[in-house]
Chains A and B, each alone.
Chain A
Amino acid sequence: DAGVIQSPRHEVTEMGQEVTLRCKPISGHNSLFWYRQTMMRGLELLIYFNNNVPIDDSGMPEDRFSAKMPNASFSTLKIQPSEPRDSAVYFCASSRPASGSSPGELFFGEGSRLTVL
């Protein structure tokens, strides 16, 4: 089975440009998470969706960031306009519906490395 697929793997852009990161979760998973990883701040949860509905976006840094999940098989994270401090690795993860009292394991993509010059 294919894992979580993220694109692009690497992106270099200039300050002020729009950046769109894409994620295809594992089929059958109903939760999707966007994380950002930097040396200074570690792994930060930006936003997560259950059944395509945003549940918690309190980690989204500011209005320049937005995320959508139009259907169960696709999500985007958009940064407009981008700034150098947005440079990081952005991870998407998905999980199965929790069964009983057991939470679903998160399956991570390989990440999108963003560099904003």
Chain B
Amino acid sequence: EVQLLESGGGLVQPGGSLRLSCSASGFTFSTNAMSWVRQAPGKGLEWVSTFSGRGGTTYSADSVKGRFTISRDNSRNTLYLQMTSLRVEDTAVYYCAKDQTVAGTYDYWGPGTLVLVSS
């Protein structure tokens, strides 16, 4: 059974940093693309960043480029999102999602972790 569990969310001041983690199990993590998708309170879904399964290629939305860094530790089956220079508009539930065979289709999601950026 595929399981994803995010952690690391919380309250942070504007300009601050936070690192999210996503622990994965139930599939071959090392060869699977993984992504972060966020949802601001009461709003829709926004793709944030993807780490490819092979080759180590990363992709990020323009809204977070230069501030957020996606990484992974295949030995720990864990995906990360390092967030710096946080803004109020980054407030959202952040979901870790497993990409299907083809990147861009999220067949399994974690329950999410809330990041609240506020002074």
Tell me if chain B binds chain A. Answer: no
